[in-house]
């Protein structure tokens, strides 16, 4: 299955993108996995969609499944580094616990930046 990643500055924009995708007449959302509201055990946060999109060819349009991963900049930062440092490497409980702690710190910072953006918009 093919996929794309969409990186948004703020968490609320992720959900705005999902709502915009729901309005697309040619895209069908098949599955939603919200790891932002329900993070994985290791601290991973992201919102995954499995959608069907039309692919146009000489044989006419065909529907193909595509995975869309939506993250904030901070979520993407953690995920990329976690993958390089740890994913599919030796299981180490101490390292896993520390990476999860960092994921939680990054999520808190994401929330603070969203509050700051909202505060600035009111000025």
User: Which pLDDT does position 64 carry in this prediction?
Assistant: 95
Active site residues: 67
Looking at CATH, the fold of the domain delimited by 2-122 is given as Beta Polymerase; domain 2 (3.30.460)
User: Could you tell me which of 29, 98, 41 has the C-alpha nearest to residue 70?
Assistant: 29
The per-residue pLDDT for range 62-101, each reduced to its tens digit, is: 999 999 999 999 999 999 988 877 666 667 788 888 889 9
- As a whole number, mean pLDDT of residues 95-109 equals 91
CA dihedral 80, 20, 34, 83 (to 10 degrees): -10
Containing H/E element for 49? strand 47-57
User: Which pLDDT does position 89 carry in this prediction?
Assistant: 67
**What is the C-alpha separation between 108 and 110, in angstroms, rounded?**
5
**Neighbouring-strand partners of residue 66:** 2, 51
User: Which pLDDT does position 87 carry in this prediction?
Assistant: 63
The per-residue pLDDT for range 1-42, each reduced to its tens digit, is: 999 999 999 999 999 999 999 999 999 999 999 999 999 999
| Domain spans, the chain | 2-122
């Amino acid at each position: 299955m093919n996929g794309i990643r969409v990186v948004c500055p703020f968490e609320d924009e992720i959900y705005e993108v999902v709502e915009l995708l729901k309005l697309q007449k040619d895209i069908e959302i098949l599955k939603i996995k919200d790891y932002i509201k329900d993070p994985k055990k290791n601290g991973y946060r992201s919102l995954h969609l499995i959608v069907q999109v039309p692919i146009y060819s000489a044989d006419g349009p065909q529907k193909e499944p595509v995975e869309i991963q939506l993250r904030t900049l901070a979520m993407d930062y953690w995920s990329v580094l976690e993958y390089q440092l740890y994913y599919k490497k030796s299981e180490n409980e101490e390292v896993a616990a520390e990476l999860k702690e960092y994921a939680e710190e990054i999520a808190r910072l994401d929330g603070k930046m969203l509050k700051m953006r909202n505060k600035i918009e009111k000025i």
